[in-house]
């Protein structure tokens, strides 16, 4: 019996990126997606590419000891010298290191994600106890759930350091984080699950924005 044909994992990223682009979550060249391979290298979207028109050549492969810095000496596979990996490659690297079960990491920019990141001044965003949380692995009745928020530093390395420090001390409740005024990042054990996670958190964000407008649930109130 012949072995099943191997599917290039970049094709899944291309489909996901096109879908997110159509939703208005990856406008222009914003956002970045990656998928990790069995050898622990990962493909990530190249910098400066329209996410609604990605092709196989619009990705860079980063190896386990790789770096996103062009001047680095570690191994980076890319289709041509002028193609650079996403400027936020280091965020994907640290999440894969912190959560070995993850094989996909998606980051999108939406209006709602940026709005809800300003609903609180602290570093956690309380979430409403919606049914959608079950899709993110929260199966409690009336769950008390929150998402971590990180400041959007100009230097990505500062964001990476803060993610590493906080998550090593306090594991996140959800496989998701917000960067204030920048968007949401999720990590998941498969590309299909990653796409679901993005859709679920964006639904929750839209609910929170709408609820705040009509005075439902007390969205935006600080916790003690």
Helices and strands (DSSP H and E) totals, the chain: 5, 9
CATH for the 9-214 domain, from 3.30.2000.10, 3.40.50.300, 3.40.225.10, 3.90.960.10: 3.40.225.10
- Phi, psi for residue 205 in degrees, rounded to 5: -65, -40
- DSSP character string of 81-109: TT--B-TTHHHHHHHHHH-TT--EEEEE-
**Could you report the per-residue pLDDT of 90-114, keeping only the tens digit for each?**
999 999 999 999 999 999 999 999 9
User: Model-level pTM?
Assistant: 0.87
107 is in an annotated binding site: yes
The span from the CA of 15 to the CA of 51, in Å, is 10
**Could you report the per-residue pLDDT of 175-200, keeping only the tens digit for each?**
999 999 999 999 999 999 999 999 99
The span from the CA of 151 to the CA of 73, in Å, is 30
- Phi, psi for residue 34 in degrees, rounded to 5: -145, 160
**In the chain, alpha helices (H):** 9-22, 89-98, 111-116, 156-169, 191-214
153 is in an annotated binding site: no
């Amino acid at each position: 019996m012949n072995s099943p044909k191997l599917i290039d994992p970049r094709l899944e990223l291309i489909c996901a990126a096109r879908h997110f682009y159509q939703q208005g979550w990856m406008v222009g060249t914003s956002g970045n997606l990656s998928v990790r391979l069995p050898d622990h290298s990962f493909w990530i979207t190249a910098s400066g590419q329209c996410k609604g028109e990605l092709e196989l050549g619009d990705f860079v492969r980063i190896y386990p000891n790789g770096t996103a810095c062009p001047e680095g000496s570690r191994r980076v596979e890319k289709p041509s010298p002028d193609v650079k990996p996403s400027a936020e490659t280091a965020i994907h690297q640290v999440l894969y290191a912190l959560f070995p079960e993850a094989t996909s990491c998606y980051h999108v920019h939406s209006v709602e994600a940026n709005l809800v990141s300003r609903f609180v001044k602290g570093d956690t965003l309380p979430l409403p106890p919606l049914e959608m949380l079950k899709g993110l692995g929260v199966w409690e009745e009336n769950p008390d759930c929150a998402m971590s928020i990180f400041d959007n530093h100009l230097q990505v390395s500062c964001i990476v350091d803060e993610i590493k420090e906080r998550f090593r001390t306090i594991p996140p409740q959800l496989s998701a984080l917000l960067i204030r005024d920048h968007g949401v990042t999720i990590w998941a054990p498969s590309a299909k699950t990653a796409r679901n996670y993005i859709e679920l958190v964006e639904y929750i964000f839209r609910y929170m924005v709408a609820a705040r407008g009509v005075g439902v649930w007390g969205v935006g109130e600080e916790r003690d």
